[in-house]
Amino acid sequence: MDSSSSLLTVDQRIIELEAEISATRFAKRWIVAWITLGNPLLIGAIVAGNLLIDFSKPGSGRSALNTLGPIAVIISIVVSVLFWNAARTYEREKSVELLQAQAERRSLEVTTTPEAATSQPFQEYYRSIPDLRDEYRRSAERYRGRHNLFQLTVIVGSILTSVSTTAAAEQGIWSWIAVGLSALVSISAGVIAYFKFRERSLNLQQTADSIDLEMQAYSLRIRRYRSLSPDEAPAAFAEEVERIREEQRKKELQLEQPPEAVPQQRHQPL
Same domain, yes or no: 138 and 232? yes
HSE-CB at 254 with a 13 A cutoff on CA atoms is: 12
Q: What is the C-alpha to C-alpha distance for residues 116 and 109, in angstroms, rounded to an integer?
A: 8
Same domain, yes or no: 128 and 192? yes
Indicate the pLDDT class of residue 199, thresholds 50, 70 and 90.
very high
Same domain, yes or no: 91 and 127? no
Question: Does the pLDDT value for residue 60 go beyond 70?
Answer: no
Question: Does the pLDDT value for residue 61 go beyond 70?
Answer: no
Question: Does the pLDDT value for residue 173 go beyond 50?
Answer: yes
* Total count of domains within the chain: 2
Using the 3D structure, point to which of 55, 78, 112 is the last residue of a domain: 112
Same domain, yes or no: 136 and 185? yes
- Among residues 145, 156, 155, 146, the alpha carbon closest in space to that of 37 is found at 156
Using the 3D structure, point to which of 112, 137, 170 is the last residue of a domain: 112
> For residues 7 and 112, is the Cβ–Cβ distance under 8 A?
yes
- What pLDDT score does 270 carry? 38
The reported pTM is 0.65
Burial class from Cβ neighbours inside 10 Å (0-12, 13-18, 19+) for residue 233 reads buried
Q: Please indicate, yes or no, if residue 261 is contained in any of the structural domains.
A: no
Provide the domain limits for residue 242.
119-256
Identify the helix (H) or strand (E) that includes residue 233. helix 232-256
